[in-house]
């Protein structure tokens, strides 16, 4: 049964984690949690003046629906609060409970396969060159009406990647048992197919 089947999808900024996770969840009929949204919601509250730990402890459903959660400013703030061990600890139970509920789950983030769900049945590390990732994020932001340059987006992506990789607590890195998918030269359909193939291999 799929009662406890958990799929962990991690990787650097704008690698395609969310896109792949949504498609994989739809394919298997599993629930999906974008854990980056939790850190973005905390980061957004901090930009409004709240203390990071208080924001993490008071996180509520309406905070996850903020319209500006996708902005580069919020992303930067998210990666700054994400280095604080107490903030990560405050968000842990919610993520683990989500993974455990019946029906199978896909979680995407930075530390799902390493810290949140180390026993996940399938782990995928999605990556792509920084240039490709920044180009994809730039196109998204421009389509959403943002006035931003490609250079700014690239700088944001590189700064967050470095902060996420270099932190002591739950750094960004592939789990030892993760399958890495480099999407630099893959379109969405090809990337999703590669992920489903890797997951099917673990289900067999």
Specify binding-site residues for ATP: 11-19
When the beta carbons of 1 and 94 are compared against ligand CDP, the nearer one is: 94
Q: Which of 63, 154, 186, 196 binds ligand CDP (CB under 6 A)?
A: 186
- Check binding of 13 to ligand CDP (CB under 6 A): yes
| DSSP string over 99-152 | HHSTT-EEEEESSIIIII-TT-SEEEEEE--HHHHHHHHHHHHHHTT----HHH
CB 133 within 8 A of CB 183: no
| DSSP string over 32-91 | EEETHHHHHHHHHHHHTT--HHHHHHT--GGGGG-TTTTSHHHHHHHHHHTT-HHHHHHH
What is the smallest separation between the CB atom of 132 and ligand CDP, expressed in angstroms?
8
Q: Which of 7, 15, 44, 134 binds ligand CDP (CB under 6 A)?
A: 15
- Check binding of 119 to ligand CDP (CB under 6 A): no
For ligand CDP, what does the binding mask look like between residues 146 and 175, x meaning CB under 6 A? --------------x---x-----------
When the beta carbons of 94 and 121 are compared against ligand CDP, the nearer one is: 94
Q: Using CA atoms, how far apart are residues 104 and 107, in angstroms rounded to an integer?
A: 10
Q: Which residues bind ligand CDP (CB under 6 A)?
A: 11, 13-19, 35-36, 39-40, 75, 78-79, 82, 109-111, 136-137, 140, 160, 164, 183, 186-188, 191
């Amino acid at each position: 049964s799929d009662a406890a089947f958990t799929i962990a999808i991690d990787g650097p900024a704008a690698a395609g984690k969310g896109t792949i996770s949504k498609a994989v969840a739809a394919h298997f009929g599993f629930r999906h949690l974008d854990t980056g949204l939790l850190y973005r919601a905390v980061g957004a509250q901090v930009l409004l003046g709240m203390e990071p730990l208080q924001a993490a402890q008071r996180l509520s459903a309406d905070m996850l629906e903020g319209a500006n959660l996708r902005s580069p400013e919020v992303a930067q703030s998210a990666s700054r609060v994400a280095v604080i061990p107490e903030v990560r600890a405050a968000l842990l139970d919610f993520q683990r409970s989500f993974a455990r509920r019946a029906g199978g789950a896909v979680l995407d983030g930075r530390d799902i396969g390493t810290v949140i769900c180390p026993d996940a049945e399938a782990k995928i590390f999605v990556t792509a060159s920084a240039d490709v990732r920044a180009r994809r994020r730039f196109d998204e932001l421009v389509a959403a009406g943002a006035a931003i340059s490609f250079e700014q987006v690239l700088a944001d992506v590189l700064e967050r990647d470095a902060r996420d990789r270099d932190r002591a607590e739950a750094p960004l890195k592939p789990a030892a048992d993760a399958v890495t998918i480099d999407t630099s030269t893959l379109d969405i359909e090809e990337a999703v197919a590669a992920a489903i193939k890797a997951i099917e291999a673990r289900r067999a």
